[in-house]
Structure 1
Amino acid sequence: MYPEAPTIAEQFGFGDIASASTLSTSLSVTWQKMKSIGKASWAKSLFEKAGLRRRREDDGENSGIASASQLPDTSKQARHIAAKGVDGVNVSNVASTTHRAASLKLSKSSEPFTLENIKALSCLCGTFLFRWGSDGGKRQSYAMRLLNTLAFYHVEIVEGEGDTAHNVSLVHMLWCVLQDSKNFEEFAKNVDLIHARSSDPYICMLVLFCMTYEHLLIVMDDEEMYEKEYPLPLCQIERIVLSLKRALHEAYWTYANLAPSSESVAFGMFVVEMATRLMRVLYNRCSRQPFCNVTSWIIAELDSNQLIEEVLLGTPRANKLIQSMPYLVPFPDRVKLFQRLIKADKEIHQSESCSVYRIRIHRGAILEDGLRKLNSIRTNLKKRINVVFVNSAGREEVGIDAGGLFKEFWLDLSTLAFDLQYGLFLTTHDQLLYPNPNSASSHFSRESDHLTMFQFVGRILGKALYEGIVVQPKFAHFFLSKLLHSFNQLNELPSLDPEIYKNLMFLKSYEGDVEDLGLTHTVVQDVFGEQKEVEIIPGGGNVPVTNRNKTRYIHLVANYYLNTQIREQCAAFRLGLSDLIDSRWLQMFNEPELQVLISGKSGKIDVDDLKANARYAGGYYALDKRVAWMWQALASFTPSEQAAFLRFTTSCQRAPSLGFASLTPQFCVQKIPIRSDDELLPSSSTCFNTLKLPTYSSYKVLRAKLLTSISSGAGFEMT
């Protein structure tokens, strides 16, 4: 079944537009609406030029069209939420009853859209959507109805007598014409989108294709896109990416200083915006479930160093490019830019003239002391913080904090804050963290306390990113999306609960009478073992799920689990995170990249990389036999043992996202002379990322002693 769009109604925001049986019938309806709001001369001229006129009501009876059906409508609000992910808007205003789009049955010899018809349609509809799309009033709602009609329109092509009909969408037709009319790759490489004219039918076809395809993708599930390859094969989607990225890069890089209000480039900027939106939706899909290699998104000849310098200088073209199409730049270069932006910010907040905060932390009360001390300096968390640990005897531990003690404290603090026993977070089926929807009921004396804790945990993560500390927690994909201010759609649901998603997909394809299943507009929520029924629309317990409204129900259920039930927790977490990290900096990354930025690279470490970026002290040198034994031992360790080694020597158990060349200070192996193997164990100075390695007599002894040290959990004071 073809994917169906969310729509708007009067009472709860659900409903349908007037019945329409064909594309031209729908255009006629739009034409009548347009006449009622001003009879614009430019629109009238377009209609006359295209040869379109209002059809008589009985035209459909002899047109060979299947019985009329109501077309789905996507409102301004629905599109705004789906595209931009604005929290706080009730999804009951964006999902609705939907029906199969009107279809036209044709024989193979029929020509539903000749080239001239496609050109006329594109010029007409492209101009309407451009003129009305930013109007903000009634015209915008008409534009959305028109776009909805176009996006979900398809014809059923019959190959021969008795053959099965198959659907061909308008999106597919537009893409075929775009490729057949010109060499699309060459066109995209040389086109000047900014100065494009609405009178150019090829440009109009391009903008109509971008708008209708993006409109479709918002509500398509993964099975339709990846398995059925509807409306386009995956190889063709990669062609779209490869072509549009170059045209858009040229547009942003060359003409970023032009004023959007300039009449000469207004349409061109509209084309650029629509193509950018399509690319963003495709990129989000590809980030979650790849359909092409990451290199397909990158422009190899783009000078990343120049781009970084221009972003830091605040040049419009660089900032516009990195905000609109960050994926054009390789991930390591975006990490470098992120680090440079933080470094520039630190020059303001951590200069020599700035104060340094000294805090005493009891080893047995890390979370409690951290919460109390750090909340008292909330507005100054960007400044340097020195930590003094107090041991179980109440004495301050020996050591000067040159950064290592703070890292150790922050890692311990983050481990405790994200611990499930505090009730702030739950885990998915694959042990990834997300906010507990029932956190308000977990160990807090006041209902608002849990949001205060989420703000605090957000600051913990923000400070870790700000100081370049990789921390242990790994988050669910849909929660990372919330951190990037995205509005989660149905396709994110498997990352929370694959079983619920599977059930909803069964319901979507169910061909029987859905009402027989006895479903209502409610979901069951587990509140500490107690099953609680929650209405997903007002009075939902009395609203049955039917064939007519099942698509609305599916999207409402997904919205409840992915957005509504954790809205307050996510907002509080983001608020705390934003105290240290500008949200625009994070939006340079997709969800998997953000996870690497947070927790570093998992798995076995690259021993050769660490070796290449190591230095030696106290008399050791690269060719010393004990140094060679140490590298041999490290290479033989399991991934968990290697992680313990990193934690022991650097206080971080994962490798930095940019590799060990970015580790500061540089990893060091220091020589500690001994007379017998039993005299000392290896020790470390996490402040300086230093391993203090005694001069053991053999490889076997060195390996065993090193394993003993890294497995003991001993801290800074160990000798």
Structure 2
Amino acid sequence: MLPLFGDEHRRKRAIDLGGSKSATSHAAILEQAKAQRFKREVLRRREESALKIQSWWRGTLEARCVKRHMRQLFLQDMTSLTGLRCLVLIGQDDDLLQQWSAAMSVDDCKWPSSCRLTLVHVHTDLLFGGAGSQDKAHWLTLLCRVSVLLITSVAKAPSSPPAVTQLQVLCKLLDPSYGARVLGLSDFDLPRVLTQHVMRYGLYQNVRSSIEAIVIDSKDDPAIPYLVKLVYLPFSNVPPLTELFTQYMHALTIHILTIPLLPYRMPLLSLSQFSAKLPLAYLQTLSSCTTDIVMQTSASAQINIIANLLHFTPPRYAILPLPSLTVYIQLLRALLSALPVHAFDPPLPDSTTPTWEEDGDDEHVAGDTTVSYSAQSLPVLDARTRKRLQTLPSGPHLNTLLKLTHQHPQLLPDMVALLVALHIVWPTAKDEVLGTLLLYGGGGLVREIYRDQVRPTPLGRDENIDTIKGTNNPSLQDWWPPLLLLADLYTHTLRTMGDDEFFSNSRTLLTLNELVPFSRTLFNIAFTLYWRDDQLQDTHVPGLNLRWTNVRERLTKCLQAIHARDSRRPFMPPNHWHVGTQIDMGSFIDAAVHEEQQTDEVSGPLVTSKGRQAYFSHLSPRLGILNNIPFAIPFETRVHIFRRSVQADRDKRGINHFSRVNRVEVSIRRGHIAQDGYDKLSGEDLRAPIAITFIDQFGEPEAGIDGGGVFKEFFTSLCKEVFDTDRGLWLETKKNEIYPNPHSYASEAYSLSWYQFIGRILGKALYEGILVEVAFAGFFLAKWLDKQSFLNDLASLDPDLYQGLVFLKNYTGNVEDLSLNFTVATEEFGVTKAVDLIPNGSNVAVTRENRLQYICLVSHYRLTTQIKLQSEAFFKGLSETIEPRWLRMFNQQELQILLGGVNSPIDLGDLRQHAQYGGLYSDQDPTIQAFWKVMESFDQEQRRAFLRFVTSCSRPPLL
């Protein structure tokens, strides 16, 4: 008999009063119950999934049956309304779409090619037959859906014969002129409705995909003419200046004008039609869309928009309405401002990609094609795109825009902003642009920008503007571009302007009275940007893709150029260049010396000015000021900082002139001072004290101990020898100022080692405060400071060449009649040869448009290129003893004073006040009293001779 209710199980189950087995059994029961629940859940889900699959499969089978039925109905009468319904319900079936398109069209291949674009052979009674029926609304709705299916199908294989047939039908559906001619005026709105629908569902996106899928140079592709027609047909179906028209223009810009090399994809007939139909006269409708266009496109797409606009728009400049021309310039400016720096300077696709750095060669002059790149990814430009983009900075194009700006002055602010944006993305085109602007109207543009766009603005009007408060103020963003362009223009014009021209009111572009407030505006802004650099790190100018550090650099260059003119021939009010009383100079000196001690030496003596400027201004605002706008601090204060920095360096190195530790002892033969100095001091640290022992003509050491006087005697004799122009290393200007010999033998290795040695010797003089009675040419001193020399510096080197270049600059005739090219003649050993200033320069004629570039290149060659190696060797030696940043606290004139003292009458009272006596003498000693009486009887020449005997220089020492 079977047990009931599980009694047998209960009888057999062991009972553990200890609780361990009971606990284990309880946990096992819970796990078993959990597993059973999970199993039941899995089974339930499987059943539900099976039901869903079965339902889907039944639905799929039913749909296939329905589609087969609809396909049969469609094939039985594909041109009827029922066939059209079936086509729409079936959906994206490329085969049926092709059959329907073929049924609605005649075999176009039988007709001449001249007739194919007109599409006059479409069966309009079939295609438009439903327009007159009672089912017109259904027919129109179905045509809208079919139009979308057609363009989507075309995008899959645009070059196939079925796609061409579908494009023919689609063009006919959207053509309002043909629809009106066939259907009459009563149904003229049918193409408009169809256009709105296909535009809403991505007409331009599909057209773009289709065009880009076709090989660029396949202009004979039969689909291209119809695709081009689909671009401009929508604008025939909507009134201009409406909201819908604006939407179409926006879509055209971001989908069609972004196609790379768009004009090169069209056959000539289609290109002419497209150019004529493109609604550029209504560009004003994009006035509210420029920001959206920039936000919705990539950098490459933005470049394509610019290139395509430059192909189609310039021929229409003269007939464009002013509002559209304004928006055109604004759109170009917005697109350029959105591009990364150097976007137009990357290498060609087939060139080797360089290492991109933020800062480039500081010796950039007109015509120099050396560029550097930002670390960010830059678009690669096709050669034809690059060629089209070159239209933008070209002289003829800019002159056309400037002419329009002259006719419509309200365009000037937008034009200025466009030019500034162009400089940012295309630095190598900057000189070409600035040269064109300066030649246009004889410099009137500079005056116009200053008087209309800078002087009345908050930036130009308030000399005490708080720049930091203004930097992030959006209300000032429209005023920065005019100031930046004006600074660039004025810096550029000073490069090719001599002092005689500058001080002639007809040639300064700005009057001297205007330069006073303008330079003070630049000074206040630049000083504040350096002083508060920590608040500006990695921030951008509102409305510009430009960092504040770049703004500071541009303003500083202009400021330095104006200050250089004032240094040679003062015209500014007293204390114009000084920061004023808001900075305590005593604390400034202490802080500057302390910050200088904290700096690490910048690698390499020839570091670029951009890198140095950013380095020092970031590290210390005081060093940034002293290395970029040092004239903001009085000269005497800077000399104190220089001497304190030298003393701090001595202390750091443990140098003590009164100790024999680390002293360099050298024996010098009387008749071989220069050669022995070169041989024995070339490997020594010249910062250390040097004790000289002279060897007489008999080979015996001269008696005495070098306490400084013997070294000064050696130093004076050494300078007299090494700077002797008869040695071949140096030449003299007509003002008896020396500069390195540009001859080829002076650039040989042995000569360069002498330049380096001489640089080390002069560094020792500056380090010890020894004055040197030698005057250097200003353009050579500029090399010490890593500054560029310009046309005005050529006047002292080669007056005849200078006058010739000035004549060329102001020549009013046809410049090409002068038969000049981009070469310069050099003569060595009686042989004259021509040196190209640019690649293939002998075949590039000098014209009115490029003469400023020629002048800059000739000046640069004579003042810089010919003595480049000599200057670098000299400065390498100089920087071994003197930190380059110490020298950059001074300009050329001040550096000459630092080297040789002030060429002024000797103040005997000041000399006596600072005289130091050796031994037990004092100022009250009878011998000293008698000495000063004798000195009082000396004239200036005798006093200079005495001073030369004591200090080795006839000029009064500094401070």
TM score, norm. by length of structure 1: 0.70
Number of aligned residue pairs: 582
Amino acid at match of 2:625: L
Write out per-residue CA displacement over residues 471-509 of structure 1, whole angstroms, 9 at most, x where no aligned residue.
111111111111211222222211211111001212233
Q: 1:194 to 1:464 in 2, by over 3 A?
A: farther
Aligned to 1:71: none
Cα 1:620–1:461, aligned 2, differ >3 Å: closer, same or farther? closer
Q: Which range moved further: 358-367 or 263-272?
A: 263-272
User: Which residue is equivalent to 1:440?
Assistant: 745
1:539-558 alignment, distance < 5 Å? 540=841, 545=846, 549-558=850-859
Aligned residues of 2:816 and 2:846 also touching (Cα < 8 A) = yes
| Alpha-carbon distance change, 232 to 621 in structure 1, aligned in 2, over 3 angstroms | same
Q: In the alignment, which residue of structure 2 is the partner of 1:80? A: none
Question: Counterpart of 2:57?
Answer: none
Q: Against the structure 1 CA distance between its residues 534 and 291, is the aligned structure 2 distance closer, same or farther, given a 3 Å change threshold?
A: farther
Render the CA deviation track for 1:665-695: whole Å, top value 9, x for unaligned: xxxxxxxxxxxxxxxxxxxxxxxxxxxxxxx
After superposition, what is the alpha-carbon deviation per residue over 1:234-282, rounded to whole angstroms, capped at 9, x for unaligned?
A: 11112122233233333332x2323622469975555434333321232
Match of 1:226 in 2: 503
- Please identify which structure carries the higher helix content: 2
Tell me which residue corresponds to 1:370.
677
Q: Give how far 1:174 is off.
A: 3.6
Letter in 1 for 2:317: D
* Structure 1 SS opposite 2:953: coil
Aligned to 1:361: 668
* Pairing partner for 2:528 from 250, 268, 287: 250
Structure 2 counterparts to residues 351-500 of structure 1, below 5 A? 351=655, 355-377=662-684, 380-438=685-743, 440=745, 447-500=748-801
- Once the two structures are superposed, residues 504-527 of structure 1 have per-residue CA deviations (whole angstroms, 9 ceiling, x without a partner) of 212233334445445454434343
Tell me what 2:648 maps to.
Answer: 344
Contact 1:84 1:486 in 2 (8 A): no
CA shift at 1:409, angstroms? 1.2
**Residue in structure 1 matched with residue 873 of structure 2 by the alignment:** 572
State how 1:240-319 maps to structure 2 within 5 Å.
Answer: 240-253=518-531, 255-258=532-535, 260-262=537-539, 268-293=548-573, 295-301=575-581, 302-314=583-595, 316-319=620-623
What is the deviation of 1:286? 2.8
Could you tell me how far 1:432 is from its partner in structure 2? 0.7
What is the CA distance between 1:335 and its match in structure 2?
A: 1.0
The separation in 2 between residues aligned to 1:457 and 1:289, in whole angstroms, is 31
Q: Is the 8 A contact 1:151 1:216 kept in 2?
A: no
Q: Cα–Cα, structure 1 residues 86 and 267, in superposed 2: closer, same or farther, change >3 Å?
A: closer
| Alpha-carbon contact 2:463-2:520 (below 8 Å) kept | no
Task: Specify every segment of 5 or more residues in structure 1 that has no aligned partner in the other structure, as ranges.
Answer: 1-23, 48-53, 66-73, 78-82, 134-138, 157-165, 659-719
The structural deviation recorded for 1:449 is 0.5
Amino acid at match of 1:390: I
Q: CA deviation at 1:57?
A: 2.7
Q: Counterpart amino acid of 1:347?
A: D
Segment of structure 1 superposing worse, 471-480 or 204-213: 204-213
What is the Cα deviation at residue 465 of structure 1? 0.7
Range that drifts further, 598-607 or 461-470: 598-607
Quick one: structure 1 residues 657 and 526, their matched pair in 2 at CA, closer, same or farther if it must change by over 3 Å?
A: farther
Partners of 1:249 and 1:423 in 2: CA distance: 44
Say whether the 8 Å CA contact 1:287–1:591 is kept in structure 2: no
Seen in structure 2, the aligned counterparts of structure 1 residues 267 and 439 have a Cα distance that, compared at 3 Å, is closer
Alpha-carbon spacing, 1:390–1:141, altered in 2? closer, same or farther (3 Å): closer
The whole-number CA distance in structure 2 between the counterparts of 1:199 and 1:351 is 57
Partner of 1:140: 426
Residue 181 of structure 1, CA deviation: 4.2
- Matched with 1:535 is 835
**Structure 2 SS opposite 1:60:** helix
Question: Which whole-Å CA distance do the structure 2 matches of 1:615 and 1:325 have between them?
Answer: 36
Tell me by how many angstroms 1:304 deviates: 2.0
Q: Residue deviations 1:88-121, cap 9 Å, x none?
A: 98956489997897278999xx98434xx55555
User: Is the contact made by 2:900 and 2:953 (CA closer than 8 Å) also made in structure 1?
Assistant: no
Tell me, yes or no, if the aligned pair for 2:395 and 2:433 is still in contact at 8 Å: no
Q: Aligned partners of 1:251 and 1:310: how far apart in 2?
A: 18
Once the 2 structures are TM-superposed, how far is the Cα of residue 192 of structure 1 from its aligned partner? Answer: 2.6
The SS at the match of 1:533 is: strand
Q: Answer yes or no: is the 8 Å Cα contact 1:87–1:567 preserved in 2.
A: no
> CA distance change for structure 1 residues 625 and 305 in 2, over 3 Å: closer, same or farther?
same
The residue identity in structure 2 corresponding to 1:306 is: S
Larger mean CA deviation between 279-288 and 628-637 belongs to 628-637
C-alpha displacement of 1:334: 0.7
Give the secondary structure class of the aligned counterpart of 1:434.
strand
Which residue in the other structure is 1:523 paired with?
A: 824
- Distance in 2, Cα, partners of 1:150 & 1:543: 18
2:862 matches 1:561: yes
- 2:479 is matched with which residue: 188, 202, 211? 202
Unaligned runs of 5+ in 2: 1-279, 306-311, 326-341, 347-358, 372-392, 596-618
What is the letter of the counterpart of residue 662 of structure 2? S
Task: State the AA in 2 paired with 1:533.
Answer: K
Equivalent pair of 1:455/1:574 in contact (CA under 8 Å): yes
Deviations 1:551-580 (A, max 9, x none): 443333222211111111111111111111
- Asked if 1:172 is matched to 2:432, the reply is no
Q: Secondary structure at the match of 1:643?
A: helix
Q: Contact (CA 8 Å) 1:103, 1:153: kept in 2 or not?
A: no
- Going from structure 1 to structure 2, the CA distance change for 1:625 and 1:189 (only over 3 Å counts) comes to farther
Structure 1 SS opposite 2:688: coil
Query: Highest relative contact order (Cα 8 Å, sep 6+), 1 or 2?
Result: 1
CA shift, 1:173, in A, is 2.7
Q: Match for 1:179: what amino acid? A: R
1:238 matched to 2:538? The reply is no
The answer for the alignment partner of 1:214 in structure 2 is: 491
Larger radius of gyration: 2
Asked whether the 8 Å contact 1:194–1:269 carries over to 2, the reply is: no
CA distance in 1, matches of 2:785, 2:738: 16
Residue 429 of structure 1 deviates from its aligned partner by 1.3
Residue aligned with 1:188, SS: coil
1:625 Cα deviation after fit: 7.2
Retained in 2: the 8 A contact 1:85–1:486? Answer: no
More strand by percentage: 1
1:59 and 2:317 are equivalent in the alignment = yes
Secondary structure of residue in 2 paired with 1:595: helix
Tell me, yes or no, if the aligned pair for 1:150 and 1:170 is still in contact at 8 Å: no
* CA distance in 2: counterparts of 1:505 and 1:398, whole angstroms: 60
> After superposition, what is the alpha-carbon deviation per residue over 1:625-679, rounded to whole angstroms, capped at 9, x for unaligned?
7655544543554444322211222333322122xxxxxxxxxxxxxxxxxxxxx
Secondary structure of 2:665 counterpart: strand
Q: 1:428 to 1:526 in 2, by over 3 A?
A: farther
Structure-2 separation of matches of 1:369 and 1:170: 57
Percentage identity across aligned positions? Answer: 31
Residue 634 of structure 2 corresponds to 330
CA spacing shift, 1:256–1:451, aligned 2, 3 Å: same
Kept in 2: contact 1:361–1:370 (CA 8 A): yes
Helix, strand or coil at the partner of 1:257: helix
Q: Secondary structure at the match of 1:376?
A: coil
